[in-house]
Amino acid sequence: MHKGFIPMKNIFFYSEDLAQVEYSPTHPFKPMRAKQMMDLLNRYGLLEDTQILEHPFLEEDLLYLFHTPDYIQALKTCEHGEFDINLLTYGLGTHDNPIFKGVYSFSLQASGGTFLGAKKLAETGATFAFNPIGGFHHAMRDHAEGFCYINDLAIALHYLIKKGFKCAYIDIDVHHGDGVQSAFYDDNRVLTISIHESGQFLFPGTGFENEIGEGPGYGYNVNIPLLKDTDDEIYLYAFEEIVPPLLQSFKPDIVCVQVGGDSHKDDPLAHLNLTSNGYEKVLKIIKQYSSKVLGTGGGGYNLYKTAALWTLAWSTFAGVKPVDNFMGVVGGMMFGPEMDAGSLYDTPYHIGGLTKEQCFAYARDVVDYIKQMVFPIHNI
């Protein structure tokens, strides 16, 4: 290292090729959100002092930190886009997880960004690494699920704990992070927290407050399910009551955050009413509890809103403030509906009446249960 060289503390993973991948023309999962996010990062001047890296291909041996050899062999046979009825055993060839040409390569490369981010945090002075084409939290050891083929999060976390790091995993995707839960359900080296729309209403139908781990992991798996229609106020109440005390007690070396954007009120596949205001406050809270953060994308099916939320996540964790250099310029870039162009932020949104009362009552019951069952294990 030559004199005067200052290592980059923020790392962003971007691949033009990955951003162009499609599961199918009609599939809701769109990697192109990463390109939209890159456009916004440039627009708002957020990439200064950032190391931008291409996603490397994950080495096959690392897949077995979480996945079974049989499943990986089945996934490899899908690389040329050919369907075999036996692949359904592994969740491959379904509507959610179609077989398309290059699916194995895509999964390896997307996961490679998350893994390299973890490695950089572990071995260098980097403090924040973000992979928008990552966060495949539904993939299970032996099958694909919920648009997810390889669980990059579980692999990266297994690597970090093998290196001796104490890790917290926080999942703010609207869907329960069931694959990551299954990876560490009996392990107290990772504190796993997922806040999501209740499985009563939404895939994957799991993630209830009584799923708190087993064996050594008992009390280290925390779920905060919320009723559909929940708004910022209720979401923040539940999050603030549970997450800061647990993080303060656990004291992680590295926090891994899956920042899915589908909790947003305008997402077409879910039913929460989070806005950018609540989303950003949650991220600011998380940042207080670790000097190193590994971030990934995840869900988010309103493409512009998801890219905007991820841009706020980048801004928060990288410690840089958005400045819109195109505001008011005729012919400036438009990234979504015109009313949204020129701002990453939403106007405040609140629900009321009986719906508000019901959502709040449900959240209070969940919070009370966790405080009663989980907090004593952490001496809170």
Domains of the chain: 10-324+345-378 (3.40.800.20)
> Active site includes 138?
yes
100 is written with which tokens? Answer: 């398309």
pLDDT score at 94: 97
Please list the rounded mean pLDDT of every run of 10 residues in the chain (380 residues): 59 97 96 97 94 97 98 97 94 97 98 98 97 98 98 98 98 98 98 98 97 98 98 98 98 98 97 98 96 97 96 96 67 47 84 97 98 98
pLDDT tens-place string over residues 65-118: 999 999 999 999 999 999 999 999 999 999 999 999 999 999 999 999 999 999
Which of these is catalytic: 138, 143, 158, 196? 138
Q: How far apart are the first and last CA of the chain?
A: 45
301 is written with which tokens? Answer: 């099916």
For the chain, give the mean pLDDT: 94
